[in-house]
Amino acid sequence: MASDIRSTIDPDELPRFNHVLDMLRTSGEQYQMVYRADLRQVVITYYRDGRLKTRRFKTTSHADEYFRKNPLDGGRRPPKGNQGNQGHQQGQQGRNGRRVVISQ
C-alpha cells in the first residue's frame, strides 16, 4: 500500500507534482487538493497572480486504497439529503401530530 501521497502519483507525473506542491508550500499560497476517483486524478486548485489555476495529476492503481484510508478532507463529509438545511428551518407540531417544517 502507498504510505505517502507522492507514492500515489504516476511516476511520469511525479516531478511535476513535486514541483507544484513544493512551490505552493514554500510560497505559503492556499491550495485545495482533491482526489477524483472517477478520473483517477489528483487535482490541485490554487490562486496565482489573481487567477484560478488547476493542475491535474494521474495516479497509480494504489491511489483508491490510499485515499479511502487517508481522505484529503480529513474524513469530513457533507450532510446527506436535507440534513444540511435543518439549521435554517423551524419545526412545529401539526394537527395530526406530525412535524411541520416552516422555512425561515
- pLDDT tens digits, residue range 67-96? 888 888 765 665 666 555 555 555 555 566
What are the residues whose beta carbons fall under 8 Å from the beta carbon of 47, sequence distance 6 or more? 29, 30, 53
Instruction: Reply yes or no on whether the pLDDT at 40 is more than 50.
Output: yes
Mean pLDDT of 50-79: 84
pTM: 0.66
Instruction: Reply yes or no on whether the pLDDT at 102 is more than 70.
Output: no
C-alpha grid cell, residue 103 = 422555512
Compute how many other C-beta atoms are within 10 angstroms of the C-beta atom of residue 2. Answer: 18
Mean pLDDT of 57-72: 90
Q: What are the angstrom distances between the C-alpha of 14 and each of 19, 25, 59?
A: 8, 16, 9
